[in-house]
Structure 1
Amino acid sequence: MSVRISRQHWNNLLTELDVARRQRHLVTYRALLERLQLPSPAMQTLTAALEYLAALDVKAEQPLRSSLVISQGASRLPRTGFFECVERLGRFSGPVDGTAAASWHASEVARVFDYAYPEPGRQAAH
């Protein structure tokens, strides 16, 4: 299934992640869904957009902004699909749950917090 995101929603996603980065905060999938008001299927659209953003960040050799989005659960980590995506992109390898994933995620978040990204909206939506 092909999922598309409007340019407005894409720009809003980049802005939300930029605000979280500058405030050095993580944001849950649920909070992003509520703020972005994506049309149905909202979670699939958000997932596809975050995976696309991860691919853009890899291509640009930047830390992965999508690492700022986490589950509400006790783990405070992204969903397993995030780790599967970044493994496909060559940024992570190992079990998608457990200490290796948690350690990699913590270091990636620190890299995101310290990185100066181009202004939101300067990258094309898909």
Structure 2
Amino acid sequence: MHPLTNDDPELCQTLRAIAKDRGRITYAELAAALSQPGPQRIRRLAERLEASVRADHAVGRPLLASVVVSRSSALPQRGFFDLLQELGRYEGPTTGPQAEAAHAAELTAVYDWWDQNRDDA
């Protein structure tokens, strides 16, 4: 496996493009961009994102899934923070200033990494 891919190349390619542009995307926008079929398309997308987080974490890479946020809060959903806690990357609440700071740190790491690896596939 190439160090910049995981088992979901379509998702990774989409998230990489967003990270390289230092952007963010909502769950609904990402589901539409990936033509994620329904029903329960957001839940199934969340499962794909969880696999992406686990793959990135396993190789010590910043979490591409950090660029995916809820439209209402501009933060990832609760499951993102629960997974960070499970992986030992974060201890704290899933909302509020501490969650915002943790997410900002993950985003900064992703953006900085992709600035340095802009030409990687």
Supply the AA of the counterpart residue of 2:18: A
Q: Name the counterpart of 1:50.
A: 49
The more displaced of 34-43 and 93-102 is 34-43
Aligned-residue Cα RMSD (Å) equals 1.5
Q: CA deviation at 1:85?
A: 1.1
Deviations 1:102-126 (A, max 9, x none): 001001101000113863xxxxxxx
Q: CA deviation at 1:81?
A: 1.1
Equivalent runs, 1:107-122 vs 2, <5 Å = 107-115=105-113, 116=117, 119=121
How many pairs align? 110
Supply the AA of the counterpart residue of 2:78: T
Match of 1:39 among 25, 37, 51: 37
Supply the AA of the counterpart residue of 1:93: E
The more displaced of 30-39 and 40-49 is 40-49
Q: Which runs of 5+ in 1 are unaligned?
A: 1-6, 120-126
Supply the AA of the counterpart residue of 2:93: P
Aligned sequence identity (%) = 32
Q: Which runs of 5+ in 2 are unaligned?
A: 1-6
Displaced runs of 4+ in structure 1, greater than 4 A?
A: none
Q: Name the counterpart of 1:59.
A: 58
Q: Name the counterpart of 2:91.
A: 93
TM-score, with length taken from structure 1 = 0.81
The secondary structure found in structure 2 opposite 1:107 is helix
Match of 1:25 among 18, 23, 26: 23
TM-score, with length taken from structure 2 = 0.84
